[in-house]
């Protein structure tokens, strides 16, 4: 399997909602993600926890890949999912773990 694209979600709607994608790239990623107050690694952990807690399955995929690229290890992602079972619920954590497994396996290929 090919490596997971961290832009796949944006690419899927780029032609349909170009301004939304532009704002995502220019505000969320070029501004918010680049602020000096937190490392990208920490931002990835926070984002993963938020997306899993909110059940945002499609966005989890890209952010697991982004987290790996930002230095979060597979074992740390597993630990995030385990920790979230208490705070976000078992179904959310299991769903997040299943998605993370798929992405981690794809990244290893």
Q: Give the start-to-end residue ranges of the domains of the chain.
A: 8-108
Predicted local distance difference test score (pLDDT) of residue 31: 96
Mean pLDDT taken over the chain = 94
**pTM of the full structure:** 0.88
Q: Give 78-97 pLDDT, tens digit per residue.
A: 999 999 999 999 999 999 99
Predicted local distance difference test score (pLDDT) of residue 7: 85
Predicted local distance difference test score (pLDDT) of residue 8: 84
Residue 84 CB contacts under 8 Å (≥ 6 apart), including other chains:
49, 52, 53, 92, 93, 96
Mean local confidence (pLDDT), 4-18: 87
Residue 64 has pLDDT above 70, yes or no: yes
Give yes or no for a contact between 102 and 77, defined as CB atoms under 8 angstroms apart.
no
Give yes or no for a contact between 4 and 65, defined as CB atoms under 8 angstroms apart.
yes
Helix (H) or strand (E) holding 18: helix 18-23
Q: Does the 8-108 domain belong in CATH 3.40.30.10?
A: no
Mean local confidence (pLDDT), 66-88: 98
């Amino acid at each position: 399997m090919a490596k997971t694209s961290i832009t796949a979600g944006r690419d899927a709607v780029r032609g349909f909602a170009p301004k939304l994608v532009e704002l995502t790239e220019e505000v969320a990623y070029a501004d918010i993600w680049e602020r000096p107050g937190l490392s990208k690694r920490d931002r990835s952990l926070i984002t993963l926890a938020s997306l899993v807690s909110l059940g945002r399955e499609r966005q989890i995929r890209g952010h697991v890949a982004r987290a790996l690229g930002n230095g979060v290890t597979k074992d740390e992602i597993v630990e995030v999912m385990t920790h979230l079972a208490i705070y976000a619920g078992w179904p959310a954590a299991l769903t997040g773990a299943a998605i993370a497994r798929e992405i981690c396996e794809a990244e290893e290929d």
